[in-house]
Chains A and B, each alone.
Chain A
């Protein structure tokens, strides 16, 4: 009773204090992410909600372009003007965590009543771990699969319920679907000379039994030759060398390509833009029933080591964790956790696609983590582009990449 009245008075006093507190006493958290640039995303939407729900915290949210995220963050950290929270693409995270730029949150997470680390998939959690310590939390995950236009499959006499399962079948399907007179390419993907290109091509190396430390196996060479055949036979536009995945999949949505290799971030846009019946299949394997692999995409959250408000920043992460059941229904992003059932969206095409992507996620293999991932990645996309433009053979290109990568991995 007495305790209750003290609590009451304390509550009133606190209320009065909050009411009387000028805005300057509020804690301002700066949050950087790429969300909200092209469509409403997780970070921008939920930052706003967190800001509204917490009178003591103001969120200053900044949208960055994908291409400037790491550069801007580096500049900010180097000059001591880092934001409190940054959301990085998962292969870039080790660049910062390995150099002490991110806050070690191992103990905070262990003591948290909200966050359970064992709910995360191993791959994404691996990307925020460095030297056995936790420097961030996965935000969401994604991967890539094969989108295909079922109407075009029917029109060309292919079975829409039996999409290509092997590399050979993929090539055959692309040949049948290709229709230059109608302005339709058989397939589209992104072989751009940047991280996107590696993101799309590395899984093919991994399917053949290789990895980023072993890129010149016979299967990897075969995969690169397959891609080259598709460009040489004009089954794919040569512009796959310069367009990113977003633009590349745009061709598919407009009916200018019959198949597309892309990921679940496309589902919202495709649901409205694609005026045809479409489906998603697992990435075809080298041989029937062969080894599966796919890209591990998705972003991570991290609190910078320079933050002056680690407690408030951690509350922000806890809030994000508590909202992850909304990620798929509202943002088409898949939580990096196994404990969140994804409810049906009411859109049959989207639900079917999601099932495939969840299956594909089991085989998603990480890029790194390695502090010099960007240089490893360049070796891979340089080799890919050198072979696809016919400057050297696939074997020569990948041998060169292998030598470069051994120099990097061996040196550190």
Chain B
């Protein structure tokens, strides 16, 4: 579609150019080109590129640069600093908690995305069924997505409190546990506690995107499948899932990015503790930068994470590209 528009405009500008351009001043030619020529396309693209370069490119370059430099807290706004080579990377990997953080980050990411996606898909399919109040209830689910992470963290902090928390009370009343679980202070549960809160937080977003994907599947396909004698399960696997492929790709990669960015839940819940048992990379980067004031190490950790996010972005771009082609 974009190509078509560009071709159309380009051909128009060529025709117009032949008649007028050789007689007009160069400035006017530029203006004309912007008004109804190729220049318009270039201008529109340039604004986007400039915006990205300033607000995404520069901080990114600055961050990557910082990971190769020696940084003091008061040389933060300088660009030229003593070169450190790979020393920061070496220092980060040699930290005793490095592999624990890697393991935790993988658990948190896979657990969060998996939980959000499976529950989100289930809810999305559930709400495609027509029943009274379906749209209202679906709307109410969005509340979790609208709430700021810190507020969600504070609420979950009360729910998960050990001695006087709601969750322990419920589990005890149901007879599932006899002793209180210290969700925030027991190394065996702390990471799980944050993951549960994060699944809840991201559920609505997943459900929403997947609902949109479901709604865009033509009903004729299901009717055709029914005529061919497909049962519900077959319809789901043979029609819904293939038709949702690009949506699923987008949801999963956005989920990965969102989860790796998830920071707000940690301070009110566990702060990465106890004993780093719920420490994930993004919180660790924050701790190095803003608790220990070692900005170079903080930057180094975030560059390591950047590689992961980059992979997710590529998957996302590919999945949406497929959507355009079809």
Give A contacts to B, CB under 8 Å.
67, 70-71, 74-75, 77-80, 95, 99-101, 183, 192-194, 237-242, 256, 374-375, 378, 382, 385-386, 388-389, 391, 400
Contacts and interface: CB of A to CB of B under 8 A. Distances in A.
Contacts of B161: 239
Contacts of A193: 271-276
B274 A241 contact: yes
A375 B274 contact: no
A388 B274 contact: yes
Interface residues of B, number: 29
B163 A183 contact: yes
A75 B182 CA distance: 36
Interface in B275-292: 275-277, 290-292
A395 to B, nearest CB: 16
Lowest 8 CB-CB distances: which A-B pairs, in order?
A: A78-B76, A193-B273, A385-B275, A241-B185, A241-B274, A238-B182, A238-B185, A242-B184
A70 B74 CA distance: 12
A63 to B, nearest CB: 17
Contacts of A375: 292, 294
Nearest to A390: B187
Nearest to B73: A74
A144 B76 CA distance: 36
B186 interface: yes
B267 interface: yes
B185 A239 contact: yes
16 contacts: A67-B267, A74-B293, A78-B73, A99-B73, A99-B74, A192-B271, A193-B271, A237-B163, A237-B185, A239-B162, A239-B184, A241-B185, A242-B184, A242-B271, A378-B291, A389-B274
A192 B267 CA distance: 12
B26 interface: no
Given A374-B292, A378-B291, A242 B270 contact: yes
B72 interface: yes
B163 A239 contact: yes
Interface string B128-164: 0000000000000000000000000000000001110
B218 interface: no
A239 B293 CA distance: 27
B82 interface: no
Contacts of B175: none
A99 B275 CA distance: 31
A70 B289 CA distance: 11
